[in-house]
């Protein structure tokens, strides 16, 4: 049966090979309505990782990336909160619209690419996972990640470009996942971003969580701003709208904030400056990897399209620097690792690199902005 998911490795394989095939979404939604994910058996992440590796055994091994320790000499008496930000590349766009001229179509097969995505998530074990370009939420990410202990939220774009692709799997959108054993959901907002007073096709999710271990509240948000050159003012307006929403949700930064996203904007753009100069007192975590702590990475996406090579810094994890410390950040792939054909590839499932940071709360919760 389509909805049958058991604990054994062989039955897990049927989840990956059959249940999560690119069949009709409506079928999977029917399945989800019949079986609340809370009633399904938990999955051991090690078993799922083994299953992914079996599917991927003919592919090259995954890239090795190391965490860079950024912790200052401030003692923390609680486990860090690991946050992962990733534009995973919508399947319909990868196969039908994005024109990665150096990437073989064979490398984009969903049956294997989904396992590369899951392998990356399972390798870093985030407490909170923020994804963009998710078009296999109902048939892949929600049924699996809910059984790994995550609470799952999805907000699709109103007019997803995926729907223009033949044999698509529904609209793409933003998705957020957090471990229920670590956090309690206090409030959740699905935000359709506006620009120049017009509702746009871009969205965000913002959730206020309570950390079980510390009792502290914080807000986590995920977004994906408008793409393409020539849309800089539009992105700026979307960023202003998102910041205003987040000011309201965090009561003007009284609640610590983490914002993950593909901003489709280089650090030279106005929307970047808006986030840097916001009254929410945000800093970009990946700047801390630079020698002076002031420069973004040279790239977070690197691909080859018919127009040529595209190497940009577009993805960010912003955080309340008065309330949160960045203990460590995952180093990016080197040019040598990425290879001459760039991304995506048989080694790596997306054209964007995943960003992963470990956060801890500042030990002085009453510290002023």
> Which tokens is 171 given?
């609209």
Give the pLDDT of the chain (369 residues) as one tens digit per residue: 333 333 344 445 455 654 444 444 444 444 444 445 556 789 999 999 999 999 999 999 988 999 999 987 666 778 999 999 999 999 999 998 777 889 999 999 999 999 999 999 999 999 999 999 999 999 999 999 999 999 999 999 999 999 999 999 999 999 999 999 999 999 999 999 999 899 999 999 999 999 999 999 999 999 999 999 999 999 999 999 999 999 999 999 999 999 999 999 999 999 999 999 999 999 999 999 999 999 999 999 999 988 888 999 999 999 999 999 999 999 999 999 998 999 999 999 999 999 999 999 997 655 444
Distance CA 173, CA 133 (A): 5
Question: Which H helix or E strand runs over 326?
Answer: strand 324-330
Provide the whole-model pTM: 0.90
Alpha-carbon gap, residue 68 to 367, rounded angstroms:
27
Task: For residue 45, give Cα distances in angstroms to 16, 90, 119, 148.
Answer: 13, 24, 10, 7
Cα distances from 323 to residues 65, 366, 367, in angstroms, run 28, 9, 7
Alpha helices in 253-349 (DSSP H): 270-276, 335-338
Which domains does the chain carry?
Answer: 86-367 (3.60.10.10)
Distance CA 146, CA 152 (A): 7
């Amino acid at each position: 049966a389509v909805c049958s998911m058991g604990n054994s490795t062989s039955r897990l394989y049927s989840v990956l090979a059959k249940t999560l095939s690119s069949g009709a979404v409506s079928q999977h939604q029917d399945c989800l309505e019949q079986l609340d994910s809370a009633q399904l058996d938990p999955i051991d992440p090690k078993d799922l990782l083994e299953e992914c590796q079996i599917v991927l055994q003919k592919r090259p091994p995954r890239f090795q990336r190391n965490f860079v320790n950024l912790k200052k000499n401030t003692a923390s008496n609680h486990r860090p909160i690991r946050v992962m930000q990733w534009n995973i590349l919508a399947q319909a766009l990868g196969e039908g619209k994005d024109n990665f001229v150096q990437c073989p179509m064979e490398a984009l097969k969903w049956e294997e690419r989904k396992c590369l995505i899951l392998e990356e998530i399972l390798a870093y074990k985030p407490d909170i996972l923020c994804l963009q370009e998710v078009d296999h939420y109902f048939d892949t990410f929600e049924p699996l990640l809910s059984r790994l202990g995550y609470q799952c939220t999805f907000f699709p774009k109103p007019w997803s470009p995926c729907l223009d692709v033949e044999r698509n799997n529904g609209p793409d959108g933003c998705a957020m996942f957090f471990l229920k054993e670590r956090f309690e959901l206090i409030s959740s907002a699905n935000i359709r971003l506006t620009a120049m007073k017009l509702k746009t096709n871009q969205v965000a999710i913002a959730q206020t969580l309570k950390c079980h271990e510390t009792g502290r509240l914080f807000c986590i948000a995920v977004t994906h701003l408008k793409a393409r050159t020539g849309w800089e003012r539009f992105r700026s307006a979307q960023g202003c709208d998102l910041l205003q929403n987040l000011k309201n949700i965090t009561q003007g930064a009284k609640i610590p904030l983490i914002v993950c996203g593909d901003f489709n904007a280089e650090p030279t753009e106005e929307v970047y400056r808006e986030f840097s100069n916001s009254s929410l007192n945000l800093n970009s975590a990946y700047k801390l990897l630079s020698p002076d702590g002031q420069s973004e990475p040279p790239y977070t996406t690197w691909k080859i399209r018919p127009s040529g090579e595209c190497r940009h810094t577009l993805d960010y994890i912003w955080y309340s620097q008065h309330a949160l410390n960045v203990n460590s950040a995952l180093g990016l792939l080197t040019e040598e690792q990425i290879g001459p054909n760039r991304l995506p590839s048989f080694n790596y499932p997306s054209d964007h690199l995943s960003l992963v940071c470990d956060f801890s709360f500042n030990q002085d919760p009453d510290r002023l902005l």
